[in-house]
Structure 1
Amino acid sequence: MSYADVNGVRLWHGCHGAGPPLVLLHGGIGSGEMFAPLLPAFTPHRRVITVDLQGHGRTPDVDRPLRHETLADDVAALLRHLGLPGADVLGYSLGGAVALRIAIQHPGLVRRLVCVSVPYRRDGWYPRVLTGMAAMGEATAVEARASPTYAHHTRVAPRPQDWPVLWTKLGALLRRDYDWSAEVAALTVPTLLVFADADAVRTAHMVEFFGLLGGGHRDAGPDGTDRPASRLAVLPGHTHHDIVGSPALSAVVLPFLTHPVRPPG
Structure 2
Amino acid sequence: MTYADVNGVRLWYEVHGAGRPLVLLHGGYGSTETFAPVLPHLVTRRQVVAVDLQGHGRTADVDRPLRHESMAEDVAALLRHLDLPAADVLGYSLGGGVALRAAIQHPDLVRRLVLVSTPYRRQGWYPEVLAAMAAQDERVAERMRGTPPHERYERVAPRPQDWPALWAKTGELLRREYDWSAAVAALPMPVLLVFADADSIPVHHVAEFFGLLGGGHRDAGGDGTGRPASRLAVLPGLTHYDIVGSPALPAAVLPFLTHEVRAPE
TM-score, scaled relative to structure 1: 0.98
Q: Give the unaligned 5+ runs of structure 2.
A: none
Q: Is structure 2 residue 64 aligned with structure 1 residue 69? A: no
Paired position in structure 1 for 2:97: 97
CA distance in 2, matches of 1:21, 1:141: 35
Q: How far 1:141 moved relative to its partner?
A: 1.9
Give CA deviations for 1:122-169 in whole Å, capped at 9, x if unaligned: 010001100101110123221122432111111110111110100100
Q: How far 1:263 moved relative to its partner?
A: 4.7
Alignment root-mean-square deviation, CA: 0.9
CA distance in 1, matches of 2:261, 2:238: 29
Paired position in structure 1 for 2:261: 261
1:134-149 correspondence to structure 2 within 5 Å: 134-149=134-149
Paired position in structure 2 for 1:59: 59
Paired position in structure 2 for 1:20: 20
Question: Which of structure 1's runs of 4+ aligned residues deviate more than 4 A?
Answer: none
Identity of aligned residues (%): 73
Q: How far 1:19 moved relative to its partner?
A: 0.2
CA distance in 2, matches of 1:240, 1:87: 25
Paired position in structure 1 for 2:204: 204
Give CA deviations for 1:91-131 in whole Å, capped at 9, x if unaligned: 00000000100110001110000000010010100011001
Cα contact 2:72–2:101 (8 A) shared by 1: yes
Q: How far 1:42 moved relative to its partner?
A: 1.0
Paired position in structure 1 for 2:252: 252
CA distance in 1, matches of 2:108, 2:262: 18
3-state SS, counterpart of residue 24 of structure 1? strand
Q: How far 1:84 moved relative to its partner?
A: 1.1
Give CA deviations for 1:33-81 in whole Å, capped at 9, x if unaligned: 1111111111121110000000000001000000000000000000100
Letter in 1 for 2:17: G
Paired position in structure 2 for 1:189: 189
Paired position in structure 1 for 2:126: 126
CA distance in 1, matches of 2:133, 2:39: 30
Paired position in structure 1 for 2:168: 168
Q: Give the unaligned 5+ runs of structure 1.
A: none
CA distance in 1, matches of 2:49, 2:244: 16
Paired position in structure 1 for 2:44: 44
Aligned length: 265
CA distance in 1, matches of 2:224, 2:188: 19
TM-score, scaled relative to structure 2: 0.98
Letter in 2 for 1:253: V
CA distance in 1, matches of 2:23, 2:154: 25
